[in-house]
Chains A and B, each alone.
Chain A
Amino acid sequence: MFAAVDDVSAVVVAVCYNDARLRPETRFRRIPQGHRRPTGRAKGAPALSIGKDQVRHVADLARLALHDHEVDELSAQLSRILEHMEKLRELDTTGVPPTAHVLPLRNAWREDAPRPGLSVEEALANAPEREGNCFKVPKIVDTGGDGR
């Protein structure tokens, strides 16, 4: 459910997932290093923009359906936001370790002892569809299309 416990490491999982999906087909337009200015860029020529195909591709990775007009909007909005993020390129971060988390905590251990949890009825109470003691979902295999 909404456990606050493991979601930091879940980011790492998502990274691996996205990596594996994207590596063979990196379709984002990259600007050659030499064309980049360390700060700012030539007027009227964004150093990096997200085209409509890229928007569709990222939406597919994020499992988001988009209407056509949203593809146009997101392309413009994300490009503008990322243009602002380009500011980070000014920073020399050579040898600077990344901060994923501010606390000096390592693994938090607990006794592997049984504890009360949700009952089956409680766990299923919010299910959009159920059958017996199971969450019911549409067929996953043999759907064709992109239902890989």
Chain B
Amino acid sequence: MSLCDLTARELHRRLAAGEISAAEVARACLERIDAVEPEVRAFITVTGERLLAEAERIDAARRDGEALQPLGGLPVAIKDNIVARGVATTCASRILENFVPPYDATVVERLAAAGACLAGKTNMDEFAMGSSCENSAFFPTRNPWDPKRVPGGSSGGSAAAVAAGEAVFALGSDTGGSIRQPAAFCGIVGMKPTYGRVSRYGLVAFASSLDQIGPLTRDVTDCALVLNAICGHDPRDNTSAPEPVPDFTDSLTGEVRGLRVGVPREYFGEGIDPEVKGAVGAAIDLFAELGAQVDECSLPHTEYALAAYYLIAPAEASSNLARYDGVRYGHRAAAGDFVTMYKKTRQEGFGPEVRRRIMLGTYALSAGYYDAYYKKASQARTLIRRDFEQAFERFDVLVTPTSPVTAFKLGERAADPLAMYLADVCTIPVNLAGLPAVSIPCGFQEGLPVGLQIIGRAFDERTVLRAAYAFEQHTDFHRRRPPLARAVMTSGKGLWGVVR
């Protein structure tokens, strides 16, 4: 096993003990990137020189007697909608193809303070709008478990990079499932923290009342370690919550006796693949065996979540994306007068899905339709929140599938926007309610990972992680590595014989 296949916690232990250097870890990741990237294409930008320089700086500081920071020397991949000063941030869009941000996102500052080293910026659906990474304006990313299949989206590059050993952990953003669904498709851990837990300063806005940054990691412990680094109030984000931040690793006891686990029946109905249901069902049985009190419950307004989300999110997006006007940054079309320039810039710069959502959102907010669509959706959102509030009077966590299906094939859903929207049906309600939820691997179906979603009360990530960790301690799904990474480990070459 290469260093780049180890967990953050294990690497930290070896680094702290002086068994390995940060430069060795960085080189292992860069070698893996060279070997698999022609096939996986997880990255839009690889910051190899910066990674090596940062790692060497960490090693030098260690030689000078400085203590190793919590994520010291660990290569991180960051979704390309989170800005890092001086590194191109494209949102996988033509309109930002040449944009170089002049400042760091708060999470980038916090990761740097914790010692993490930037490996690169990852591919995504354009402006985080999509569930397969196929909406990237540049190229699709492929699933390390099967290159004919999508890695999920929109944080598909981040998920694929972690699964393939190209980075030790990654950051993504989750507006309707964009961290959890690709984590499920790629067999890793992905968490959307409570809305307001992580600063959105420096995250390119899609739907501001739903967007949240979170970690994609190899296991639950790593997830807790990254949360420790990135959570906390930030005065530069007015929607950042002034809540105290606990040590998330404290809750990893391996113990779930007496934990009240709710199983909302609406998440196991029509449209959920029977094999996914089977794997999630087995996971629920394991919780019961471990002494949790498992019981069925109902979230009766679940069936309205998708419609509410696909009105609210595009409405917010249509407003947020008004800033791309070809004036201050980004692409500008060559055109005569100002309005024509503005319209053509946006036509040339935005891909089809982004334009579709701007249209949908503009329509939903327009006079005569505002009450019927945007307001109605916002009221449905209240009912969905209340469902969760009532369920959490009886339960500590709720468990569901993360995605109704395992990773689908490239092109399979690309022609039908509505079919793609349905891929998010299990994750969307959580964003509407602003709650924390994690996806962890809970089984395999024909060689493809299945994800289990664990949802918690607002600001109770600890209980979510406690449940996830206990499950992980009694299973080995999180230890499996995709065939791609295994082949590289043994031969030094990519599974498909591609070595750059």
Residues of A within 8 A of B (CB): 1-8, 10-11, 13-15, 18-19, 21-23, 26, 28, 30, 50, 54-55, 58-59, 61-67, 70, 74, 77-78, 80-82, 84-85, 87-91, 93, 96-103, 105, 107-108, 110, 118, 122-123, 125-129, 135, 137-140, 143-148
**Contact code string B326-337 (vs A, CB < 8 Å = 1, else 0):** 111111100111
- B362:A61 contact, CB within 8 angstroms: yes
A28 CB → nearest B CB, Å: 6
Report which of B311, B328, B366, B377 forms a contact with A18, defined as CB distance below 8 A. B366
- Complex CA gap A74/B314 in Å reads 15
A62-B359, A98-B375, A143-B338 are contacts. A88–B308 as well, Cβ < 8 Å? yes
**Is B315 positioned at the interface, with any CB of A under 8 Å from its CB?**
yes
A–B pairs, 23, beta carbons within 8 Å: A4-B199, A4-B203, A4-B208, A7-B319, A7-B320, A18-B366, A58-B366, A65-B347, A67-B347, A82-B363, A84-B310, A88-B304, A88-B373, A96-B383, A98-B381, A99-B382, A100-B209, A103-B241, A128-B330, A137-B338, A138-B336, A138-B341, A139-B337
How many A-B pairs with Cβ below 8 Å?
254
B343–A15 CB distance below 8 A: no
A126, B99: Cβ atoms closer than 8 Å: yes
Question: B328 to chain A: which residues have CB within 8 Å?
Answer: 1, 123, 126-127, 135
Known interface pairs A4-B239, A14-B319; A126-B201 also in contact (CB < 8 Å): no
Q: How far is the CA of A39 from the CA of B103 in the complex (A)?
A: 50
Determine which of B316, B359, B368, B372 lies in contact with A59 in the assembled complex, contact meaning CB atoms within 8 Å: B359
Closest-CB distance, B453 to chain A (whole angstroms): 18
A100 to B385, CA, bound (A): 12
Complex contact A88–B377 (CB within 8 A): yes
List, in ascending order, chain A residues with CB within 8 A of B101's CB. 1-2
Q: Is B61 in contact with chain A by the CB < 8 A criterion?
A: no
**B306: interface (CB < 8 Å):** yes
Contact A2 B310 (CB under 8 A): no
Q: How far is the CA of A144 from the CA of B340 in the complex (A)?
A: 11
Q: Are A62 and B362 in contact (CB under 8 A)?
A: yes
Please report the C-alpha to C-alpha distance between residue A23 and residue B368 in the assembled complex, in whole angstroms.
8
Do A128 and B331 form a contact, CB below 8 Å, given A63-B342, A85-B307? yes
B232 part of interface (Cβ distance < 8 Å)? no
From A23, A28, A30, A58, residue with most partner B Cβ within 10 Å: A58
Interface members, chain B 223-245 (any A CB < 8 Å): 235-241
**Interface pair A81/B360, CB less than 8 Å apart:** yes
A10 and B319 contact, Cβ closer than 8 Å, known pairs A64-B343, A84-B306, A96-B383: yes
Which 10 interchain pairs have the tightest Cβ spacing? Answer: A102-B434, A98-B378, A126-B329, A128-B332, A4-B200, A143-B337, A22-B367, A93-B379, A14-B319, A65-B343
Interface presence of B42 (CB below 8 A)? no
A60→B444 CA distance, assembly (Å):
48
Classify the secondary structure of A's interface with B.
loop
Please, which residues of chain B bring their CB within 8 A of the CB of A99?
Answer: 378-379, 381-382, 385, 432
What CA separation (Å) do A58 and B363 show in the bound complex?
A: 6
Structural contact, A101 and B239, CB atoms closer than 8 A:
yes
| A36 CB, nearest partner CB in chain B, Å | 11
B55 within 8 A of A: no
From 173 to 223 in chain B, residues with beta carbon under 8 angstroms from any chain A beta carbon are 195-196, 199-205, 208-209
Q: Which of A54, A81, A107 gathers most chain B CB within 10 Å?
A: A81
A78 and B360 contacting across the interface, CB-CB below 8 Å:
yes
- Are A98 and B379 in touch, CB under 8 angstroms? yes
In chain A, what residue has the closest Cβ to B99? A126
Instruction: State whether B380 touches A93 (Cβ < 8 A).
Output: yes
Q: Which of A99, A123, A139 has the most chain B CB atoms inside 10 A of its CB?
A: A99
B358 contacts the other chain (Cβ, under 8 Å)? yes
Residues of B within 8 A of A123 (CB): 102, 328
Contact of A11 among B200, B303, B319 (CB under 8 A): B319
Complex: how many Å from CA A50 to CA B200?
35
**Which among A54, A122, A137 has the highest number of chain B CB atoms within 10 Å?**
A137
Task: Tell me if A11 and B316 are in contact (CB < 8 A).
Answer: yes
Nearest CB of A to B310, in Å: 7
**A66 CB, nearest partner CB in chain B, Å:** 7
Q: Given A10-B320, A28-B368, A77-B356, answer yes or no on A63-B343 (Cβ-Cβ < 8 Å).
A: yes
| Measured CA separation A123–B320 after assembly (Å) | 20
Quick check: B434 and A65 within 8 Å, CB to CB?
no
